Amino acid sequence: MSSPGGLHFTHIQAFLFFALVISVAFGFLGRRQPKDRVKYILWSFLLFLAVGIGIGWLMYPFSR
Amino acid sequence: MEELDRVNEPRQEALPTELTPEPVGVDGQAPAENKAWGVAIAGWLLPGLGHALQKMWGRAVVVFLTVGLLVIAGALMRGNLFTARGSDAFDALGYAADLGTGSFYLLARALERNGADVSHAGGDYGTRFLATAGVLNLLAALHAYEAARGRKA
């Protein structure tokens, strides 16, 4: 997945980047206390991973 | 008889004019509401500014960085940055989402000198990053608006 002269991300890198950035934004907007924010960010990030990988596996039988 | 008629008359509800009037601005709106709209528009134009105006520094920095990172990554991955010249409803929706980044829309245009390339998965992901940045910034602007109105945020 290359684009000439631009930024190169593999599928998993793009997925992890997206999940991390959005989780951090949600954590800071949704919680006030630092400890709550860290917990929210981690929980949101893990859910992104679980749902993304889960949907990937669900689509696997139809990918060929 | 006259007294009976008065008893049968429907009771009039208390009119809002009997309540203590809120302080109003020059255009008839409450100043707090005007301030909240100003904060929301500032937050939309420059991601994080809506929170910075309310001295919510952590949120301001995070909104600025996350929206900025998504825009830069999306543009460098040559995602599709929609314009007003779209041909269908999806283009219009994409344009609305991209415009959500405010001034960063211009940054993305400046970074995408070679135009979009969605023939690769990278360009497709870039398109999503740009749209997500816009929607995220709109969410942050709404959050700043609610905080300015005194809602717990």
The C-alpha atoms of residue B72 and residue B133 are separated, in whole angstroms, by: 10
The C-alpha atoms of residue A42 and residue B77 are separated, in whole angstroms, by: 27
Q: What is the dihedral of CA B56, B58, B60, B64, to 10 degrees?
A: 180
Model confidence, pTM: 0.81
Nearest CA in chain B to A32: B153
Considering only CB atoms, which chain B residues are within 8 Å of A3?
77-78, 117, 120, 122-123, 126
Whether chain B has a CB inside 8 Å of the CB on A1: the answer is yes
Summarised one tens digit per residue, pLDDT across range A25-58 is 999 999 999 999 999 999 999 999 999 999 999 9
Whether the complex's predicted ipTM is more than 0.95 is answered with no
Domain ranges of chain A: 11-62
The C-alpha atoms of residue A57 and residue A63 are separated, in whole angstroms, by: 10
- Residue ranges in B24-120 assigned as alpha helix (H): 31-45, 49-52, 57-76, 89-99, 104-111
Whether chain A has a CB inside 8 Å of the CB on B120: the answer is yes
The C-alpha atoms of residue B135 and residue B146 are separated, in whole angstroms, by: 17
Give the number of A-B residue pairs with CB atoms closer than 8 Å. 64
pLDDT in tens, chain B (153 residues): 455 555 555 555 555 544 555 555 555 567 788 899 999 999 999 999 999 999 999 999 999 999 999 999 999 999 999 999 888 999 999 999 999 999 999 999 999 888 888 888 888 999 999 999 999 999 999 999 999 998 876
